[in-house]
């Protein structure tokens, strides 16, 4: 028996004139932007797009069936990236981790489902071919396509500009409340000249322009991603005083509760940073 198409999809198709059986990446991207469907609806449509989802052998065990895991990982890492106290080299490594996660996550999650060798062996021409298959989320802070755009900006800057330009980019945080980054043109298309899409990043922020990281380093990146998925929510960035008071006050958290939550979040962030730092080779 064939599972019926989601009502939201058929309604959107009737309004936009898209045939209901035209389930491809372009249509799904437009549908996601305009109708803002739930992840369950998107997953159902993606199963039609690729009925036999690749096993994604490198994705953290325990999260293979967790369709929202990739977006949750992106949202949690983005919270650390956006925090003003995050060191710029750690920020670069987090962006690389999210790009690796997009390559490795199952297609039903919005990723590409590659194995370790496929991710490490990916070259710009291959990335260009599969980029349109990467998932899109309603919000930029957990969007796989936006995370990809940000990392391509980094390696494009590394390829065509100076190390100081990479450092400036490492200090930069994403604009809050802006439109999806992946809808903009690539700011540094020199990523097409890169050799490895997953290079090492040493402790001074130098990015290896001549190859991909060692397989053991990718395993460490996967471990850091799993830790971030399984741990508590990262500490949020400080809220400006003018925006600190919510419109509808909720139960006030005690100072002790708040300190305990922030302590656990800081410990998690430190562990993730240590893992990513330990396995990056020197320049």
pLDDT confidence of residue 277: 81
Q: List, for residues 71-112, the tens digit of each pLDDT value.
A: 999 999 999 999 999 999 999 999 999 999 999 999 989 999
pLDDT confidence of residue 264: 66
Does some domain include residue 238?
Answer: no
Cβ neighbour number for residue 178 with a 10 Å cutoff: 10
Does some domain include residue 62?
Answer: yes
pLDDT confidence of residue 215: 92
Does some domain include residue 117?
Answer: yes
Domain enclosing residue 196, as ranges:
20-215
15: tokens are: 């309004």
pLDDT confidence of residue 75: 95
Alpha carbon distance 99, 250 (integer Å): 36
Cβ neighbour number for residue 70 with a 10 Å cutoff: 28
Does some domain include residue 80?
Answer: yes
Cβ neighbour number for residue 242 with a 10 Å cutoff: 6
3-state secondary structure of 265: helix
DSSP 8-class letter at 56: -
Helices (H) and strands (E) counted in the chain, each on its own, are 11, 0
Computed over every residue of the chain, the mean pLDDT equals 84
What H or E segment, with its residue span, contains residue 191? none
* Residue 247 CA from chain centroid, whole number: 30
Does some domain include residue 278?
Answer: no
Alpha carbon distance 92, 113 (integer Å): 23
Does some domain include residue 47?
Answer: yes
Alpha carbon distance 191, 70 (integer Å): 23
Alpha carbon distance 256, 228 (integer Å): 23
* Torsion angles phi and psi, residue 280, rounded to 5: -80, 130
Does some domain include residue 83?
Answer: yes
Does some domain include residue 63?
Answer: yes
The set of residues, in sequence order, having a beta carbon less than 8 Å from that of 200 and lying 6+ positions away, is 207, 208, 213, 214, 217, 280, 281
Alpha carbon distance 194, 186 (integer Å): 14
The set of residues, in sequence order, having a beta carbon less than 8 Å from that of 35 and lying 6+ positions away, is 8, 9, 12
Closest to 35 (Cα-Cα) out of 19, 12, 5: 12
Q: List, for residues 209-265, the tens digit of each pLDDT value.
A: 888 899 999 999 999 999 999 988 887 766 654 444 454 444 455 556 555 555 666
Q: What's the total number of domains in the chain?
A: 1
pLDDT confidence of residue 53: 54
């Amino acid at each position: 028996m064939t599972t019926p198409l989601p009502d939201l999809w058929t309604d959107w198709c009737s309004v936009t004139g898209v045939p209901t059986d035209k389930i491809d990446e372009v249509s799904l991207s437009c549908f996601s932007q305009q109708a803002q469907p739930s992840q369950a609806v998107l997953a159902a449509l993606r199963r039609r797009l690729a009925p036999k989802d690749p096993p994604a052998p490198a994705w953290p065990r325990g999260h293979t069936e967790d369709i929202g895991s990739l977006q949750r990982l992106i949202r949690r890492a983005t919270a650390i990236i956006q925090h003003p106290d995050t060191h710029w080299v750690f920020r670069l490594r987090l962006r690389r981790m999210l790009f690796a996660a997009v390559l490795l996550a199952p297609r039903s999650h919005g990723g590409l489902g590659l194995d370790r060798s496929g991710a490490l062996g990916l070259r710009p021409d291959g990335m260009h071919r599969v980029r349109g298959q990467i998932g899109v989320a309603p919000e930029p802070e957990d969007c796989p396509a936006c995370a990809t755009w940000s990392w391509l900006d980094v390696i494009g800057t590394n390829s065509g500009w100076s190390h100081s330009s990479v450092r400036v980019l490492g200090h930069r945080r994403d604009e809050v409340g802006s439109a999806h980054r992946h809808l903009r043109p690539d700011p540094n298309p020199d990523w097409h000249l890169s050799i490895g899409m997953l290079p090492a990043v040493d402790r001074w922020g130098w990015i290896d322009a001549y190859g991909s990281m060692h397989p053991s380093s990718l395993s460490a990146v996967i471990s850091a991603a799993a830790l971030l998925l399984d741990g508590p929510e990262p500490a949020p960035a400080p809220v400006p005083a003018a925006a600190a008071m919510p419109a509808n006050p909720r139960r006030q958290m005690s100072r002790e509760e708040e300190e305990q939550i922030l302590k656990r979040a800081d410990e998690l962030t430190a562990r993730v940073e240590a893992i990513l730092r330990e396995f990056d080779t020197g320049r």
